[in-house]
Amino acid sequence: MRVPVYPQDLIRNRGFKSLSKQLQEQWHGSTSISLADAQKALAQGLGYKSFYDLSETSKVCQPGEPVPPEADVRQAIGSAIKATLQPGDELNLERLVNDLPLTNLVAFKRVQVSHGAGYSLLSKLASGAQQGLIKEHIQTLENILSESGSLRDRALFACMLGALRSSEILSARMHYGVAVYGVKPRDTKNVLDTIPDRHRSLFKQYIKSSKLSDGDYLFRAPNVPGRPLSSNALMKICFSWARKANIDAGLLTPHSVRKTTDNYADLMRKISERLGHHSANMSLAYAVRLPTTSSTAS
């Protein structure tokens, strides 16, 4: 059993860090414990070998990972705490464990929202009730990446803002001095044409500084010549951005960035029109196979 822990949980006074602090403060035994000991016990209770193991694993924790039942988690935390007790220690273990607000963790927040939503799939989609990236997040990310000085990260983000899919970004290569993308070898397009105007200058700068030759991948795997950046490595990069921007790591993916762009919205509108739908609600109803009422033009 392992509870998924995300980078956001390791921000000071939030998530795992706040739980560890509370555990230390509520430890009314014959002897007190350090914050490091509280973190170790809590990490082991959540299914990790140590706090270091938890911290490293959080960097690659995938969105939507299964969450164990809360009762099982509290029992495991209690067992981990009990193992740290010294002979003669007196501690109201049951009360201590039950008082821990596990909903401070991102994983349990999602479980709580999922169980209490009470809306149909269509109403969630139509109302936009589900959480997701918004324009303010995008602006924050642009500012942070600009300050980071990493041309690669800024070029990656520019591709996402160009509404390129992950597969198109990772498969992009240099061809006759031009960066092109396309899942099919013969169906290639200029990457620069998709990127927003405000990012084209830095993208050209990235190409020039990277000294890419024809056939080279636009984004290469570190220390592995001739190999593209992997999808797993791309997700790790997104997680690192989310942590710096204080955004839920589960919300920041190449696809979620793509969905915020005008190009993506235009694509969805064209698809809707081709399907014969003239409103978002009609398209959503079609997507979930709900009955719709047809109307004729007057």
pLDDT tens digits, 221-230 = 987 778 999 8
Task: Quote the CA–CA distance of 268 and 273 in Å, as a whole number.
Answer: 9
CA distance 119 to 199: 40
Comparing C-alpha atoms, which of 254, 259, 248 is closest to residue 230? 254
Q: Express as a percent the part of the chain with pLDDT over 70.
A: 77
Which run of H or E residues covers position 178?
strand 178-181
Cβ neighbours of residue 184 closer than 8 Å, sequence gap 6 or more = none
- Calculate mean pLDDT across residues 285-294: 44
Ranges 126-130, 137-141, 251-255: which has the least confidence: 126-130
How does pLDDT run across 188-205, given as a tens digit for each residue? 899 999 999 999 999 999
Beta bridge partners of 174: 179
The pLDDT of residue 118 is above 50: no
Q: What is the 3-state secondary structure (H, E, C) of 23-39?
A: HHHCCCCCCCCCHHHHH
Closest-CA residue to 76 (of 35, 52, 48, 55): 48
CB distance 189 to 289 below 8 Å: no
Highest mean pLDDT among 26-40, 49-63, 80-94: 49-63
DSSP-derived letter for residue 8 is G
The pLDDT of residue 89 is 64
Residue 116: pLDDT band with limits 50, 70, 90 = very low
What is the edge-to-edge ordering of all strands in the sheet holding 178-181? 173-175, 178-181, 189-190
Average the pLDDT over each of 39-43, 111-115, 251-255 and give the range with the smallest value.
Answer: 111-115
- In Å, what is the CA distance from 6 to each residue of 73, 142, 152, 198, 251? 17, 22, 24, 32, 11
What residue segments make up the domains of the chain, in order of their start? 7-116, 135-259
**Six-digit token pair at 177?**
């001095």
Dist. CA 202–CA 44, nearest whole Å: 45
- Residue 47 banded pLDDT, cuts 50, 70, 90: very high
